Structures are given as structure tokens and as C-alpha cells.
Amino acid sequence: MKPLSDSFGRIMRDLRVSLTDRCNFRCLYCLPETEEAANFYRTRFDAEKNPRPKPLPLPRHKLRTELLSFEEIERVVRIAAELGIQKIRLTGGEPLLRNDIEHLIARIARLPGIEDLALTTNAFLFPKKGEALRDAGLKRVSFSMDSLDRENFKKMTGRDGLAEVLASIRLAKELGMEPVKVNAVVIRGLNDHEIEALAHFAVDQEISFRFIEFMPLDSSRGWLKDLVVPGREILQRLRTRFDLEPVVSGNASETARRWKFRDSKAEIGIIAPVTEPFCGHCNRIRLTADGKIRTCLFSLHEHDLRDLMRTGAPDDLIATALRRIVWEKEPRHHIGEPEFVQPERTMSCIGG
């Protein structure tokens, strides 16, 4: 069967599926609502030289009837797999807020063609659900942990949840979910002083740690290029402290540049979409919790599959729609350019 490709020759293999737009955290780079977050941004803007854009209101959560059912999600994943999608990552919002998520995982895990099934979570609920998720067929998990300092973690996420993240990392390792990945969004003046400590943590725990550049997907509209710690700066700092070897990957579409530590199973990765875009080999699309296909995190347009399914469209029509949507995938994002427009939806509503 002809692969699912766009007009630039990129073949889609990766589908990110958001299960909910709800989240029990209020991360500064996504849905900031705390006074600490407001104070941080307030000090970064100059009323005359650098006025702050008007923040977006916190999004209205979708009604249950507006969200895709597990049957609808399974159907989209099955059709996408028939078109060549091999990797599924379940996201949110916070995906573990979706009741009975293990039942959906079991359904997806049985689908032919799916070679990799993973989950991204803030980890707060993982200690209660980890074993059931593994037993249902979840292969890999990625946790968010932006700080190893309890107070700084709370400032960044709006929640006192560091202990739950640390417990989740231990549990995932015990459950055999390899490799365990942990992600940190690095923001200058907030947690960039912890880069080396987070790398030491990766070595101690023998995990894969990802440093991610701060992207303009926050509801506060507080993103500034000056707050981005470039990937090359992160790498330079780590190389002065650690003996790192590049990891050569045969996967050209991988978003992270990776390095391993000598004499350790740990590795670090740097995801630098702002300063070192990887759009030219992007192979992913996204399905939002309310059934919209997005061809880029920064898409300004979405494509509705939910109404198509609910009006009785057969599988071949859904497949044709997916082909048409992917064919029109954007060549790249425009972060940092004069014409850049931030999407109306935040990361929590798009799906990470």
C-alpha cells in the first residue's frame, strides 16, 4: 500500500494521540495559573520595549461527548496503522486522568502494524496505575520532571508532585519499561541552573534524560526567545562535566540528538526545535482528544475526523481524508520569525 506521505516526501510513521485536554498540573510553559508563574513572567517583560501579549484564557474543558471514545480512537489508530503508522504515543493533557486508560492500551496493543506503544505523563498518578498499564501492553513511558528541587518543581508545575515523579521512575524501572525516559523543559532563569544536576540524576538512575527547549505553546503568551536555553549551550555545559559519546541512530526522523555516558547505561538527549529545527525529517501527526488531526505542533489549522466518523463515513473515506490531510503538511514551523503566529490551543489541548 502506498505510504502516508506529504508533498515534501516525508513519510508518516508516528501518531501522537491525546486522550484528554484536562491536566492536574499547571506548568509554567503550558497552563500557568499560579502567582509564582505570574511573577516570573512579570519580571521578564518591559512595558515599553518588550510588552507582553495578552494571555489566553484558560481553555474550556471539552465535554465528555466532545471527546473521542475509546472505540473511535482505536478506529483511527487501526486505519492509520494500515497506512503505515508504526508508533503510537498517548498524551494529554494528562492521559492518566482518562478513566480506564488501560482498556484503550490493551485495544491498541493488539492492532497489527503497531511496533511501539508509549505514554507521556506528568507521573502524578502513575504509582497507582503503572502495573495495570504494563499488563495491558504499554511498552514505554516518558515522565516530565523539570526540577529536582521540591520548591522549584512546585514553581514550574504549580503542584507539589516531585515525590510522585521520583516514585514513578523507580516503579517504571521495576516494571521493565525500558528505556525509562524523563523530560525537562529548560527555561533560562528558572531551572537552567539544574542542567548538570539533572544529568547526574540520569547517571545515578541509569535512565534516558531529555532536555527540551522552551517553545511558544503557553496560554500566558509569555514565551520569549531570551528565555530559551539553546541546545548547543546545554550540550557545551554537559560536556565540560561529563565524558559523552554521540549515539548514532539509524532513525533520521528522531527528534533528539543523543549522547551516552561512558561506563553507564544512561544517556541524555537534546530536543532543540527552536534553535535547531528538525522539520525536514518530521514523520509525525497528532490526533487531539476531540478528534482533530494536526500536522504540526504549530499548525494554525486542524482537520476534523470526529464528525466524519460520527456521520457514518466508512474506513476508506477516513483513510482518504488522512492521505489528503498529510499531503498538505506544512514544510516547517516559523518560530522566531516575524510571521510566526502562536496556535490558539496550548500544548495541553494539542497533545505533546
Q: What is the pLDDT of residues 11-32, one digit of tens each?
A: 999 999 999 999 999 888 887 7
Residue 4 within a domain:
no
Measured CA to CA, the distance from residue 233 to residue 83 in angstroms comes to 39
Average pLDDT, the chain: 91
Quick one: average pLDDT of 283-300?
93
Quick one: average pLDDT of 51-64?
68
pLDDT of residue 238: 97
pLDDT of residue 59: 63
Nearest to 20 by CA among 335, 291, 327, 294: 291
pLDDT of residue 42: 65
Question: The whole model's pTM is what?
Answer: 0.92
Measured CA to CA, the distance from residue 305 to residue 292 in angstroms comes to 6
Residue 7 within a domain:
no
Residue 183 within a domain:
yes
Measured CA to CA, the distance from residue 148 to residue 167 in angstroms comes to 13
Measured CA to CA, the distance from residue 151 to residue 155 in angstroms comes to 6
pLDDT of residue 52: 60
Beta bridge partners of 117: 88
Distances, alpha carbon 261 to alpha carbons 200, 243, 349, in Å = 10, 6, 35
- 218 touches 165 (CB < 8 A): no
Per-residue pLDDT for 321 more than 90?
A: yes
pLDDT of residue 228: 95
Number of domains, the chain: 1
> Which domain CATH number covers 227?
3.20.20.70
In this structure, what DSSP letter does residue 45 have? -
**Domain ranges, residue 271:** 14-350
Maximum average pLDDT range among 40-54, 103-117, 214-228: 103-117
Measured CA to CA, the distance from residue 100 to residue 102 in angstroms comes to 5
Per-residue pLDDT for 110 more than 90?
A: yes
Length, in residues, of the chain: 352
| Residue 12 φ/ψ region, left for φ over 0, alpha for ψ in the -120 to 50 degree band, beta for the rest | beta
Measured CA to CA, the distance from residue 80 to residue 14 in angstroms comes to 9
Sign of the four-CA dihedral 144, 148, 149, 152? negative
Q: Which three cell numbers stand for residue 207?
A: 535512565
Q: 54 pLDDT band (50/70/90 cuts)?
A: low
Measured CA to CA, the distance from residue 33 to residue 307 in angstroms comes to 33
Quick one: average pLDDT of 301-330?
97
Residue 50 within a domain:
yes
CA quadruple 239, 241, 244, 246: dihedral, nearest 10? -30
| Concatenated DSSP letters of 261-293 | ETTSS-EEEEE-TTTS--GGG--EEEE-TTSEE
Q: To which H or E segment does residue 319 belong?
A: helix 315-327
Distances, alpha carbon 160 to alpha carbons 23, 26, 124, 333, in Å = 14, 11, 10, 34
Residue 1 within a domain:
no
Residue 93 within a domain:
yes
pLDDT of residue 337: 77
CA 138 to chain centre: 17
